[in-house]
Each structure stands twice: as structure tokens, then as C-alpha cells.
Amino acid sequence: MQNREGRNSMTILKQALLGAAALSLSAIGAFAQSEEGTAWEETLEAAKGQTVYFNAWGGSQNINDYIRWVGDQVEERYDVTLEHVKLDDTANAVAQVVAEKAAGQDEDGGIDLIWINGENFASMKEQDLLADGFATDLPNWSLVDQENPSVTTDFTVPTDGQESPWGGAKFVFFTDPARFGELDSMPDSSAELLEWAKANPGRFSYPAPPDFMGSSFLKQVLAETIEDPSLLEAPEAEVNFEEVSQPLWAYLDELQPALWRSGRDYPENYPAMKQLLADGELGIIFAFNPAEASNAIANNELPETVRSFVFSGGTLGNTHFVTIPYNSGSKEGAKVVANFLMSPEAQIRKERPEIWGDPTILDVEKLSPEQRTEFEEIDRGAATLGPDELGPVLPEPHPSWMTRIEDQWLQRYGS
């Protein structure tokens, strides 16, 4: 048995060792933080003077204006020039990177940043066209709502840090109750929408695939009509596509005669649908942004009486991202832009309906009290459903489903 003096000596030794261990862990943590800070400082320094060619959909003036604001900010703060290359189809950007790789242009490619998600991301990832994972190393990643599975998987495909989230999306419908009936009379499912269209011939339509919004409508119907929705999580090649997708084609066959212009023509895109609603030709349209109707009202594109609605059984939801091609010559500048897009300042501005109305990807609880208050005080407009009114989220199918569905739609209805 140890005497008191021996026990005291042991106690002192233990305390000394514990103190040394604590100091060591503290030093390791400080070193890690220092290393992380140093790496980002090096990225900022390398980004100075770089031009980032940002390939992004250019079909919405308010979004174009927002991207222009982002360009002004990153130029003033970080000496990075942002050039918005306006796309009508993200697949065109993917095709350019594919062509550059085939030509052996593995450096200084023509694209530095792409607004992307879904099948285009899956295609680039499968073909090794993406830069190494970067998103989770960006300083503002720590503010992202990482409990949201759609920021780490894109249409069932793991993102592996190769794309950086910058906005949320939820499929919503809207109408003008002053002209087309009260909200409680609006359809509450795809099945009810079909009946509404037949009872109101010519008042509903959708953009022809492969337009993103048109293809999204097809996926919404598929998700509601398929017998086993879990099949959509796997690549379509792993199931009997003809059998599984048959309810979708039966639905569309029945819908076709009731469409605007009897299905002989289709709205070109979402802005065309919006104009048709404003003109009173269409009675129900849809978007992938809960604030879209309020945004259009704020910009005098739709009447103040327009309101949004969703199906109680759920509508599609996802996250949209930016990614960096493997052969970008301005990777540091692209990372600076991606990080700024996730900043509270940029996210707050983006969610204001008069600017864009795009939902945030941040965990608001991680923000400062002042930043939380700014989010809370956003006037989302009378036509925007609150988070508790948007209903369940239906997950996006595997990207291969969209490609196959678009091909089949063109064969059946494209002529």
C-alpha cells in the first residue's frame, strides 16, 4: 500500500500529465485551425486577378441580375472577375467539357463554374469531368444545413464535395383565384389535376421536355403514379422500365387532348408559362421555387391575386449546386465565388422575393442573432407558402430516369 506521500506524488504526476495532454490537444486544434485558415488565405491570394466563367441558366432576368450582383461583390472584395455565360440548357456546358477532354485540353478549359444538379452532375461525375472535392473545405460550408440529405446526395448520387450547394427547390403550383376558382377548389394530386384539366380544357400545359420544368412535371406525375416509388432510387436500367413507367404514359395520353392548344404546341419554358397565366390563357402553372409567384407579383409580371398551392401528398424537392470542371484554369477563383454564394449575406439577399426568392441552404440556427433576424424579417409575400405549408418532399429519382423519360416523351409526343 502506498503511503500518503507516495499517493500525493502520484496525484501531482497525473495532474501534470493531464495538463500536458490538454495543452497538446489545444495546440493540435490551434494548429489545425491555423492550417485551415492558411489554406484559405492561399486560395484567396491565388484567386486575385482570375476570371471565372460561370455557365448558368440565363432565362430569368431576376436571376441574371442576382448573378451580376454576385459578380460585383467578388470583384470588389476578392479581385475576382465573374463572367456569366448564359445557358438555355446545362447539358451544353457538360458537352463542352466532354469535347475539351476528348481534345486533350486538360488545363485552362473554357468553363470554371457550372450551375448544376441532377443528371448533368451525375454525367460529369461518371466521366471524371469534375475537380476534386472542394465544397466541404470552403469556410461557409460550416453554416450549411448538413442534416438536409439533399446537400450531400444529388438525385441519389453522393456529391462527395464535388458540388457546392447554393439554393433549395420545392415544386409548387400557382393559379389566379380571381379568375380560376378559389384555392380550396384546386387539385390536390396529379390525379385531381388531370380531372381539373379535362374540366377546364386548354387551361393547363407544361413545357416540352427536355426543358427542365417540363421534365420535372413528368417526374412529379411518375412519382405519384408509380406502384412502388422506391424503384425510382435505382438506375432505370435495373428495372423493367416499360412496365414501371406505363402509368405515366397512360396519364399523359389522357391529359393530352385537354392541354393548351390540344397538345399540338407547348410553352417554350417557365417564363412562357408565366406569361400565359398573366394573359389568362393558362389557369394553373408550376415552378420549382416556393417564392416564384411572389417574385413575379413584385416584378409586375403576374396579378396580385395569384396564389400558390401544393399537393398534400407531397411534391418534388431538391438542392441546386455549383461545380468546378476538372480542367478549369481558375479553380481558386471558382472556389471563392462558390464560398460567397453560401455566405449569409448572399443567401439572405437571394431569399428576398423581390430579388429571387430562392430558399436558403443554410442552417439559420448556426447564424448570428442579427443574421437570423434578417432571415425572419424577409417579407416573402402573400403568394409564398410558409415552410410548414409546403407539404412533404418527394425525393428526386435517380438521374437515369429523367434521361429515359425525356427520350420516351419525345418519341411519343415530340412530333
Pinpoint the alpha helices (H) of 79-115. 91-102
Per-residue pLDDT of the chain (415 residues; tens, 9 = 90+): 344 344 344 444 444 444 444 444 444 444 444 455 789 999 999 999 999 999 999 988 989 999 999 999 999 999 999 999 999 889 999 999 999 999 999 999 999 999 998 889 999 999 999 999 999 999 999 999 988 888 999 998 999 999 999 999 899 999 999 999 999 999 999 999 999 999 999 999 999 999 989 999 999 999 999 999 999 999 999 999 999 999 999 999 999 999 999 999 999 999 999 999 999 999 999 999 898 999 899 889 999 999 999 999 999 999 999 999 999 999 999 999 999 999 999 999 999 988 988 989 999 999 999 999 999 899 888 899 987 788 888 989 998 999 899 999 999 998 6
Q: Tell me, what's the pLDDT at 30?
A: 45
Give the CA count within 13 Å in the CB-facing half-sphere of 279: 9
Helix (H, G, I), strand (E, B) or coil at 329: coil
Q: Tell me, what's the pLDDT at 36?
A: 59
d(CA 211, CA 214): 5
Signed CA dihedral, 396, 317, 356, 180: sign only: positive
> Would you state the cell numbers that stand for residue 200, as one nine-digit string?
377546364
Length of the chain: 415
d(CA 126, CA 132): 13
Q: Tell me, what's the pLDDT at 201?
A: 97
> Would you state the cell numbers that stand for residue 88, as one nine-digit string?
438555355
Q: In 3-state terms, the chain is what percent helix, strand and coil (to 5)?
A: 55, 15, 35
CATH tag for 172-318+394-413 (out of 3.90.226.10, 3.30.750.80, 3.30.2320.50, 3.40.190.10)? 3.40.190.10
Superfamily of domain 45-166+319-384: Periplasmic binding protein-like II (3.40.190.10)
Q: What are the distances in angstroms from CA 71 to CA 115, 245, 343, 405, 409?
A: 15, 43, 14, 36, 38
CATH 3.40.190.10 domain position(s) in the chain: 45-166+319-384, 172-318+394-413
